[in-house]
Structure 1
Amino acid sequence: MSKKISKIFEPMHNHRYNEILMYTGTLFAIFFLIFFRYFLAKERKKSLPTNYPVLGMMPGLLLNASRIYDYATEVMELSEGTFLFKGPWFSNMDMLVTSDPANVQYILSKNFHNFPKGPEFKKIFDVLGDGIFIADAESWENQRKLIMSLLKNLDFQKSVGESTWSKVKSGLIPILESVSAMGTELDLQEMFQRLTFDCSCVLVLGHDPNSLCLEFPHLPEEKAFTFAEEAVLRRHILPESLWKLQKWLKIGKEGKLSECKEIIDQYLSNCISLKKKSFKEEEDFDLLSSYMRLLAHENAPEISEEVWRDTMLNLLFAGKDTISATLTWFFWLLATNPEEEKKIRQEILENLRMSEVGKWEFSNMNELNGLIRLHGGLCESLRLFPPIGLQHKAPLNPDILPSGHPISPNVKTVLSFYSMGRLESIWGQNCLEFKPERWISETGGIKTEPSFKFIAFNAGPRSCLGKEMSFVQMKIVATAVMNRFHIQVVEDHPVSPRTSVVLQMKHGLKVKVSKK
């Protein structure tokens, strides 16, 4: 009898149990939503991140991950240039973030040897192998000496201007003319990415992928670089255990990053293989050919193809999207500052020799030296939008920064270069304004600033080796475009930085092009 009764009441008990679960779940959801709305509003205000129990300051970071550069700048403004970010408990994610020029000079120059890239940096940037951007100590010194000797080759320096102009003349100008004639919109960032990818491949590998042409071919290797840069910055934000799990499972962005790495490796291996077959001792002046000439000497050390690949990959990374990003931001700044654009156009007309049809044709790099205002405009773009917005270091030994902040080896050091160009304490009240004259001296020449203040090309022993080469390429592109076309940004086009290790535009730069 008791068994029969229990069977009768069993459904009633189950129903009651389900009701309790439903009510409990509803109350929990309401409580969570109320807390989340309060929390969301609190963390998105312009204030220092809250240090929560267990979670640390991670919630504020995740909520602002899509605007990480501006968020870092807000934190730097409120903390007088240096802030200790506390990660979740036991996550090893504590970070000291700084934009203080004195700290930057100390880390990158004065106490350089105590702040190497470190093993954490190598794990985050594993896509770059053991190249110069990852290497430390003797490996880095040897690679830097080798690359410096390659870049100083006079034939290579001459080829920088000639190959860039050739690609501008045969690729970029015809596309802009076609778009102008049709009256269609164009993603200028996409064009500059294709341009600099082709130029970098020609200069580094001696191979032209011809991505910049009217057909707009889809090249997986070109897109793979861009995605890799975005995925790498994401690794700075997420706990290492989480992105490593995704990598192991080959899911999400880490799964796609693995695919991109394979695409890049295959492309570089093919280019190296082709170069070996077609190598001419005295005719080719790309960096890969120069590298092979050095290795051909009797006393040259044995270097594996993997090391070749890493060296070439790092050089491609240095020149590809960094230059295209600067050019994109530069033309957006011109479009939003028409008076400055007029002044730079006038300088081009007054200082450069025009052809019979009134268009400038590149002849040698020396003729670009008189474009002082253009140089200032490019420096302003680099100041406000440095191609590499953040840099990550790791102290070997406990240290105290000039700002008075102590730092231990288990605390990562993040230098916010993006913030440094936007702080009144560094550049004055007009720090957010585009002012090329900021870079013109009283005598009318180019005004220089200390590298630990103007940090676009790094500072100290790791200063960028390709700085002058970059300016030559950017000036050729800017002069050729400004002399022929007027660029107008499409109305209401959203402009903001992409969450990527290279500071590109999140939505590209949609423009309309008209002939001058």
Structure 2
Amino acid sequence: MLPFSIIHFNQIHDKFVEILKKNDGTVILKGLWFTNTDKLLTSDPTNAHYILSTNFANYPKGPLSKRIFQVQGDFLFNSDHEEWKIHRKTMRAFFNDRRCMEATVKVVRDSIEKGLIPFLDHVSKQGMVVDLQDLFTRLMLDSTCTLATGYNPSSLSIGFPETPLATAMDIANDTVFQRNLIPESMWKLQSWLGLGVENKMSKALHTLNNIATEYIKMKKDDIKGNVEGFDALKFFMIEKDTIRSKTTQAYNFLRDIVIVLNAGGRDTTGACLSWLFWLLSKNPSSESKIREELIAILPKDEVRTSKLFSVEELNKLPYLHGAFCETLRLYPPAPYQSRAIVQSDILPSGHHVNPKMTIVLSWYALGRMKSIWGNDALEFKPERWISENGQIKHDLSNKALFAFSTGPRVCPGKNDAFTRMKAITASIIHNYNVKVVPNHPVTPNSSIILTMKHGIKVKVTKRCT
């Protein structure tokens, strides 16, 4: 496995697809004999449901995953068993809170109205070429950080200023991906010697901790001063009563909230939006259908005017929803998910697994299997998600769409992510024409988040006034 991963590092996602296709969707990858790093790689949906739902207790994240993803701290993403149950309950309380829903709507609208639209108007007037991936990543960072901390880092502005938070998160993503491919002893030695990506990771972690500390300090001052507003830091400080706590555990909890929410909201949604617009550029008929769907829900006097869409209006757009499902199928922002094994077991595919192994679920490969999706598996067809009566096929989503995971550990921010992505996409498609620069290379990056290696360069022109 190790030589293969090194040789094919730049095409690792597609190389794993080739291997899985030749092995009926499941294969054991052998690691170095003295490291206990054998991995079972699978794109079999029956295995996925068994691991993530049916026999959930036997397949936790595990201590190795926690060390690999150290940047995420101890909260939700890295926790297991009783600790995870407590974190899940806490996180659901936040996302289900009426104030969170209202704040999300406000933050999304403000980010589009005060950030996205002015920026696109500017580049449209100037005839500038813009990297849409960079744009979306910055937009999602600003809106996510606002919802998480109450503060907007204002990374989306003319000139694309460097943002320490974003830079540190990018380094962490690249480092985590490499840690998943090589034995722990190797990357730990790099870390101890202060070499390569591990040296960068150490500095990035220091930067993230300092930023989180500053946000926590400012939020405590705001709460003491009765500053209005709702965000995750304020919610957890008051609900968990950490505002008065001086313990390291309380600080770490708040620090993890800042990092986990920003990473989840920025990276995954920013990547998904980028891939959607690239797929639409390759399938102009699908973009036309989205535009027609938007026009159909508007009063005639608003069809040719600039428009921001409400949540109620966004819920009336099944084709747009299907387009996102199709994007998540072909380009899942988190292309892999790993699990440890508590007790030896036999998977539905017939493969034996044991505690010395790690299971890697490949969502990227799963979305490309003809055995699951048919001969048109590699085609972008939002229609496959829509029933004859024009509704979303939720049964198909539940069976085969794993971008937000499934079972008990399904992403708690799934609905929030769909709302934000639909609002941004609807605003752009209705108000602007977006054209990818000819011959611009678009290829997946070798990272834990499925971004584009060279971004996506586009020119934007205004449609509605």
Q: TM-score, normalised by structure 1?
A: 0.86
Is 1:337–2:283 an aligned residue pair? Answer: yes
Q: Matches of 1:147 and 1:436 in 2, distance apart?
A: 31
Distance 1:373 1:357, change over 3 A: closer
Taking the TM superposition and a 5 Å limit, the aligned residue runs for 1:233-252 are: 233-252=177-196
Q: State whether structure 2 residue 267 is matched by structure 1 residue 321.
A: yes
Q: Secondary structure at the match of 2:360?
A: strand
TM-fit CA distance, 1:451 = 2.9
**Which one of 429, 438, 446 corresponds to residue 499 of structure 1?**
446
Pick from 92, 105, 111 the counterpart of residue 49 of structure 2. Answer: 105
Residue 288 in 1 paired to residue 233 in 2? yes
1:297 CA displacement = 9.2
Count residues in correspondence.
459
Check the 8 A contact 2:59/2:339 in 1, yes or no: yes
Are the equivalent residues in 2 in contact too, given 1:128–1:313 (CA < 8 A)?
yes
- Distance in 2 (CA, whole Å) between partners of 1:299 and 1:209 is 26
Q: For the structure 1 residues 250 and 452, does the alpha-carbon distance in structure 2 shift closer, same or farther, using more than 3 Å as the test? A: farther
Task: Choose which of 152, 158, 174 in structure 1 pairs with 2:102.
Answer: 158
* Separation in 1, partners of 2:370, 2:213: 47
In structure 1, C-alpha distance between the alignment counterparts of 2:62 and 2:226, rounded to whole Å:
38
2:405 aligned residue (453, 458, 477): 458
- Residue by residue over 1:460-516, the C-alpha shift from the partner in whole angstroms, topping out at 9 and shown as x without a partner, is 100011111011000110011111111111111111111111110011111111122
Task: Pick from 344, 347, 354 the counterpart of residue 401 of structure 1.
Answer: 347
Q: Distance in 1 between matches of 2:168 and 2:357?
A: 31
Q: Please give the alpha-carbon distance, in whole angstroms, between the structure 1 residues aligned to 2:7 and 2:181.
A: 11
**Among 370, 373, 378, which residue is 1:427 paired with?**
373
Query: Partner of 2:82 in structure 1?
Result: 138
8 Å Cα contact 2:140/2:266 also seen in 1: yes
Any residues of structure 2 matched to 1:238-277 within 5 Å, and which? 238-277=182-221
Q: Gaps (5+ residues) in structure 2?
A: none
- Contact 2:441–2:454 at 8 Å: present in 1 too? yes
What is aligned with 1:510? 457
Worse-superposed segment, 502-511 or 310-319: 310-319
Q: How far is the alpha carbon of 1:282 from its aligned partner?
A: 8.4
Shift of 1:239: 2.0
Contact 1:295/1:301 (CA < 8 Å) preserved in 2?
no
> Structure 1 segments of 4 or more deviating over 6 A?
297-302
Residue number in structure 2 paired with 1:198: 142
What is the match of residue 30 of structure 1? Answer: none
2:333 maps to 387
2: CA distance between counterparts of 1:372 and 1:250? 50
RMSD: 1.8
Whole-Å Cα distance in 1 between the matches of residues 116 and 306 of structure 2? 15
Give the Cα separation in 2 of the matches to 1:301 and 1:210: 30
Secondary structure, counterpart of 2:444 in structure 1: coil
Question: 1:158-186: CA deviations, max 9, x gaps?
Answer: 12122112111111112212212222211
Q: How far, CA to CA, are the matches of 2:242 and 2:281 in structure 1? A: 52
Alignment partner of 1:489 is 2:436: yes
Counterpart code for 1:157: M
Measured in 1, the distance between the counterparts of 2:454 and 2:159 equals 22
Partner residue in 2 for 1:366: 312
Quote the Cα distance in structure 1 between the aligned partners of 2:53 and 2:245: 32
Residue 91 (structure 1) shift:
2.2
Question: Is the Cα contact below 8 Å between 1:91 and 1:239 reproduced in 2?
Answer: yes
- Report if the CA contact (8 A) 1:131-1:307 is conserved: yes
Q: How does 1:85-96 map to 2 (within 5 A)?
A: 85-96=29-40
The correspondence for 1:230, drawn from 153, 170, 174, is 174
Asked if 2 retains the 8 angstrom alpha-carbon contact of 1:393 and 1:413, the reply is yes
Residue identity opposite 2:183 in structure 1: P
- How far apart are the structure 2 equivalents of 1:475 and 1:249? 46
Tell me: CA distance 1:72–1:298, structure 2 relative to 1, closer, same or farther (3 Å): closer
Contact 1:109 1:460 in 2 (8 A): yes
Q: Is the 8 A contact 2:237 2:243 kept in 1?
A: no
Aligned partner of residue 497 in structure 1, secondary structure: coil
8 Å Cα contact 1:84-1:94 kept in structure 2 = yes
Aligned to 1:50: none
Counterpart in 2 of 1:411? 357
Measured after TM superposition, the shift of residue 262 of structure 1 is 0.7
Q: Aligned equivalents of 1:321 and 1:297: distance in 2?
A: 28
The alpha-carbon distance between structure 1 residues 281 and 402, as it changes in their structure 2 partners (threshold 3 A), is: farther
Letter in 1 for 2:206: E
1:122 equivalenced with 2:66 (yes/no): yes
CA contact 1:65–1:237 (8 Å) conserved in 2: no
Tell whether the 8 Å contact from 2:236 to 2:242 is kept in structure 1 after alignment: no
Q: Which is worse superposed, 137-146 or 175-184?
A: 175-184
Q: Distance in 2 between matches of 1:450 and 1:202?
A: 30
- The answer on whether the counterparts of 1:177 and 1:515 sit within 8 Å (CA) in structure 2 is yes
SS at match of 1:419: helix
Aligned partner of 1:100: which letter? D
Moved more, 237-246 or 80-89: 237-246
Are the aligned partners of 1:424 and 1:430 in contact in 2 as well (CA < 8 Å)?
A: yes
Name the SS of the counterpart of 2:76 in structure 1.
Answer: coil
Equivalent residue, structure 2, for 1:347: 293
What SS does the corresponding residue of 2:333 show, helix, strand or coil?
A: coil
Choose 347-356 or 395-404, whichever is displaced more: 347-356
Deviation at 1:295, TM superposition (A): 2.5
Check conservation: 1:131, 1:311, Cα contact below 8 A: yes
Relative distance call for 1:73 and 1:300 in structure 2 (3 A) is: same
Which TM-score applies when normalising by structure 2?
0.95
Asked if the contact 1:132–1:311 (Cα under 8 Å) also holds between the matched residues in 2, the reply is: no
Shift of 1:215: 3.8
Q: Please, which moves more after superposition, 324-333 or 127-136? A: 127-136
Q: Distance in 2 between matches of 1:512 and 1:361?
A: 21
Would you say the 8 A contact 1:83–1:96 is kept in 2? yes
Say whether residues 1:63 and 2:10 are aligned partners. Answer: no
**1:443 lines up with 2:389 in the alignment:** yes
Which AA in structure 2 matches 1:339? Answer: S
Query: Retained in 2: the 8 A contact 1:131–1:313?
Result: no
On the 8 A contact 2:233/2:257 being kept in 1, the answer is no
Give CA deviations for 1:416-459 in whole Å, capped at 9, x if unaligned.
01111110111111111111111111111111125341101101
CA distance in 2: counterparts of 1:376 and 1:82, whole angstroms: 28
More deviation, 451-460/397-406: 451-460
By how many angstroms is 1:317 displaced? Answer: 1.5
